[in-house]
Amino acid sequence: MTAPISPASPQRKTVNVLIIDDEPSMRLLLEQLLTGMGHRTTGADSFQAAMAQLNTQRFDLIFSDIMLGGRDGIALLHEIKHRNLECPVIMITGFPTLQSATEALRLGAFDYLTKPIRLADLEKVTQQALQHHFLRQEHLRVQKNLHALFGSVRDALFLIDSGGIIQEINPSAKTLCQIDPVRAIRTPFQDQLVGCNGGCVAAVRQTLSTGTPCHINRLECVMARGPVQVNEITVTPVLHEDGTVHGCVLVVHNQTYLVTLEQSLETRHQFHRLIGKSPKMLQLYDLIEHLGTVNTTVLISGESGTGKELVAEAIHRQRPDWTLVPMVKVNCAALSEQLLESELFGHVKGAFTGALKDRIGRFERANSGTLFLDEIGDISPRMQLQLLRVIQEREFERVGDSTPIRVQFRLIVATHQDLKQKVRAGTFREDLYHRLNVVNPHLPPLRERREDIPLLVQHFLEKFNHVFKKRIDKFSGGVLRHLLNHPWPGNVRELENPLEHACLLCNGTTLFTTHLPLDPSKEERLEPTPPVPPLPRSDIDLPPAMETAQRILTQKLRKRRPEADDLLRALEQTRWNKTEAARVLGISRRTFYRLLDRIEMETPTG
């Protein structure tokens, strides 16, 4: 885990040395010798004086006599060990014994010197002690940095030795893998995986046995506590210089959120009854979700046929209690002013001719729920004023009555008109416009989200299969080109009609262009028509005259692309059996021949 360290040479680095000896002459000798080596020295003549120096200074090396006027150097070693001081201690003795030497080394003394001290021995032991000290200091520094990095990583990290024993583990493993970092140290890795199904064990074993990295992009981890996780597993071997496996590093990266988000984006092609996964529709879905729990007025804009009523329904269904509260709809453009007033506010018996009994209005029915007013741009100025009062006061009277009725409802309105333009023209009240235009979801026209057309086609095929009891499960490339190139001024509502017509005519399982009632002259060529891939030719040898006729007809059909693509494909699929080709297209044999005759007459052969 650690890189080779090249510390500064101790001979060239000035260090602080503490010399402890109760003999002034010995202390002075050591100070002179060590100062001559380039080191700074501090002297102490007793145990207490040494403790005072250790309290105020930091030393890189300590020389201490084993006998200190009533206290021995062993007590000093005990104190240094108790304080966790990271500096080597060299003991000096005039009467060395095996027992004293063993005890000194056991308590952490680096080495010991015997009196009289020779300069060569002093230089050698000083150099070795300082080198050891600097290496240990660098090692501790690197270890602290590694521990800091280890602890800051949000992924779960494991350092595992060649025997499968955990040597290091970071805190993230407790959250991600449900493993306690304190208890897991020095235990078998496999024994710690009691909180999951242990899907990463095989990867660790493979790396330890082969010495090669192992990566699993998305591993489903079944947790004992909590939901299933999707994790990315990376196992990297730690190798000795000779290439043998020393251990491995396991990294567990949680991808659950990312996978969930990707699945949401991939599958979110439908939101309630709205269909589409284009960027504009996804933005609309997000806005609808935000409107679910706030009771604010919403103005839905968009061309006719884009599905404004479906947006209103989706907003209403975002409420947690949507099944318990009403959603009342009113098409303002379909009613005269008098009928609209009666529908919205209700009336009492005798309020006008034909009012034979009291009637509750839509405002009252929508109490505590949602009121959707479609085509709000078509209401009269007088109705605009009355609607403004209800929005402001949340109060109204029935027609023919003066008793105020208070209501609480969410108001959603929709229009295909430009209300700003109507305000400038003076046909729509500006104060009402600002009351309505709190949040303005806009439904894009179908021509601006053509990538949603295949999804809509599939939806309508499923719908009409159920209605007409058919099994149409695919559509040809020619059908898709027609639908993508059509301008669709009537938007989704217009798209539904030709598909209903096509499903009604189709007797097979594939929808072809011959089933569509669209006028090719009205199409917008958005991009070049892709070439039709050739199908395998029949192995049956045909007479030369028939081959020539087929070649000429093929040339004519190809010149009439895209409208003749389906005919040519059906002929090639059925080996030019025209009866079978008509059956594949779901049309009669007579219609098939009529189409071929028309193409042959209209297309030059040159």
Q: Report d(CA 494, CA 487) in Å as an integer.
A: 10
Any idea which of 107-121, 170-184, 529-543 has the lowest mean pLDDT? 529-543
Q: Report d(CA 527, CA 460) in Å as an integer.
A: 25
More confident residue, 565 or 342: 342
Any idea which of 10-14, 58-62, 87-91, 183-187 has the lowest mean pLDDT? 10-14
Question: In this structure, are residues 375 and 416 in contact, taking their beta carbons and an 8 Å threshold?
Answer: yes
**Which H, E and C letters describe 300-350, residue by residue?**
EEECCCCCHHHHHHHHHHCCCCCCCCCEEEEEHHHCCHHHHHHHHHEECCC
* Structure confidence at residue 269 (pLDDT): 73
Q: How many CB atoms lie within 10 A of CB 338?
A: 10
Q: How many CB atoms lie within 10 A of CB 484?
A: 17
Dihedral sign, Cα of residue 463, residue 464, residue 466, residue 470: negative
Q: Report d(CA 566, CA 558) in Å as an integer.
A: 10
More confident residue, 85 or 166: 166
Pairing mode, strands 442-443 and 410-415: unpaired
* Structure confidence at residue 555 (pLDDT): 58
Q: Report d(CA 196, CA 223) in Å as an integer.
A: 4
Q: Report d(CA 247, CA 250) in Å as an integer.
A: 10
Query: What would the two tokens of residue 543 be?
Result: 């007479």
Q: Report d(CA 209, CA 237) in Å as an integer.
A: 10
Q: Report d(CA 552, CA 501) in Å as an integer.
A: 33
Residues above pLDDT 70, as percent of the chain? 83
pLDDT over 80 (residue 22): yes
More confident residue, 601 or 105: 105
Query: What would the two tokens of residue 128 be?
Result: 């070795």
Residue 192: which of 209, 229, 167 has the closest Cα? 167
Dihedral sign, Cα of residue 33, residue 34, residue 40, residue 45: negative
- 291-443 CATH: 3.40.50.300
Q: Tens digits of per-residue pLDDT, 427-465?
A: 999 999 999 999 999 999 999 999 999 999 999 999 999
* Structure confidence at residue 326 (pLDDT): 93
Q: Report d(CA 520, CA 414) in Å as an integer.
A: 33
Average pLDDT over residues 67-96: 78
* Structure confidence at residue 522 (pLDDT): 56
Q: Tens digits of per-residue pLDDT, 223-267?
A: 767 777 888 889 999 998 888 999 999 999 988 876 666 555 555
Reported as a pLDDT band with limits 50, 70 and 90, residue 6 is: very low
β-strand partners of 229: 221
Q: What is the mean pLDDT of the chain?
A: 82
* Structure confidence at residue 468 (pLDDT): 92
In sequence order, which residues have a C-beta less than 8 Å from that of residue 605 and are 6 or more positions away?
552, 555, 556
In sequence order, which residues have a C-beta less than 8 Å from that of residue 581 and are 6 or more positions away?
567, 570, 571, 573, 574, 592
* Structure confidence at residue 9 (pLDDT): 44
Residue 51: which of 72, 76, 16 has the closest Cα? 76
- 153-258 CATH: 3.30.450.20
* Domain chopping of the chain, boundaries: 16-144, 153-258, 291-443, 446-522, 544-602
Query: What would the two tokens of residue 376 be?
Result: 């709000």
* Structure confidence at residue 377 (pLDDT): 93
Any idea which of 1-15, 154-168, 376-390 has the lowest mean pLDDT? 1-15
pLDDT over 80 (residue 583): no
* Structure confidence at residue 548 (pLDDT): 54
- 446-522 CATH: 1.10.8.60
More confident residue, 102 or 212: 212
Would you tell me which CATH number, out of the four given (3.40.120.10, 3.40.50.170, 3.40.50.2300, 3.40.50.1980), belongs to the domain 16-144? 3.40.50.2300
pTM (two decimals): 0.49
pLDDT over 60 (residue 506): yes
Q: Report d(CA 576, CA 326) in Å as an integer.
A: 60
> Alpha-carbon dihedral of residues 275, 279, 280, 281, nearest 10 degrees?
20
* Structure confidence at residue 162 (pLDDT): 92
Query: What would the two tokens of residue 111 be?
Result: 């080495």
Side-chain-facing half-sphere of 497: CA atoms under 13 Å: 9
Q: Give the gyration radius of the chain's Cα atoms.
A: 44
Q: Report d(CA 303, CA 445) in Å as an integer.
A: 6
Q: Tens digits of per-residue pLDDT, 263-303?
A: 555 556 778 889 988 889 988 988 998 887 788 999 999 99
CA 379 to chain centre: 45
Q: How many CB atoms lie within 10 A of CB 212?
A: 11
